[in-house]
Amino acid sequence: MENEKHYRHEWKHMITYADLLTIRQRMKAVATPDPHAKDGRYLIRSLYFDDMHDRALREKCDGVNMREKFRIRCYDLDPSMIFLEKKSKVNGLGTKYKAQLTQDEVSDIIRGDTDFMMEKEDPLIRELYCKMKNRGLRPKTIVDYTREPFIFGPGNVRVTLDHNIRTGLLETDMLDKSCVTVSAGEAFIILEVKWDAYLPDIIRDAVQLTNCRSTAFSKYAQCRIYG
């Protein structure tokens, strides 16, 4: 985990499938596909944490200015690259910390066998342990979606197109490749743009769309619509 907080700007827009096709072509012309993506995309699976009062969910829905959430995330269901992540929001700016976990460690956390976490050197893992013990944070639900990511060097810009958002309902075994997920309501497509100090005009122009609105859309909140 980085020692210093690094906050980034973020736009989120709900877009149509036609918009997705437009943005995809524009990004291919001006930006670079994320080299980690296969054929331009990858599956993201996240296991989100919340407490018995659904504090993370409620704070997101209520628009609380300072909030945080924990999740465990993997890509293309690859168990060799799994990360614990903490996302924080302050005054509309976001930052993310992460620490790598092993497959066995994730299995232990899902089962509630968490004592090993206090022996880890990474402060993020110890922080989650403390909040699981003191605030009752627990794995809540799986969130799956497909991401098409693009990067642009100046401004450290990242543009992503997220679609096929699916929920694991109350399922928490994110390592189970046979886990059944279902569509999380409407077929939402989310355009996200993240950058550091400035957003270059070439990217700003490329992501401009008519009849599209900024949104505080949360995949976690959307995936809790069934419980």
Distance (Å, whole) CA 208 – CA 7: 23
pLDDT in tens, 148-158: 999 999 999 99
Mean pLDDT for all residues in the chain: 92
Enter the CATH code of domain 9-222. 3.20.100.30
For residue 211, the SS3 value is: coil
What was the pLDDT predicted at 213? 65
What was the pLDDT predicted at 2? 42
Whether residue 181 is predicted with pLDDT greater than 90 in this model: the reply is yes
What was the pLDDT predicted at 225? 81
Domain chopping of the chain, boundaries = 9-222
Q: Please, what is the Cα angle at 214 between 212 and 215, to 5 degrees?
A: 120
Whether residue 3 is predicted with pLDDT greater than 50 in this model: the reply is no
Whether residue 108 is predicted with pLDDT greater than 90 in this model: the reply is yes
Distance (Å, whole) CA 74 – CA 80: 9
Q: For residues 189 and 14, is the Cβ–Cβ distance under 8 A?
A: yes
Distance (Å, whole) CA 44 – CA 156: 21
Percent of the chain with pLDDT over 70: 96
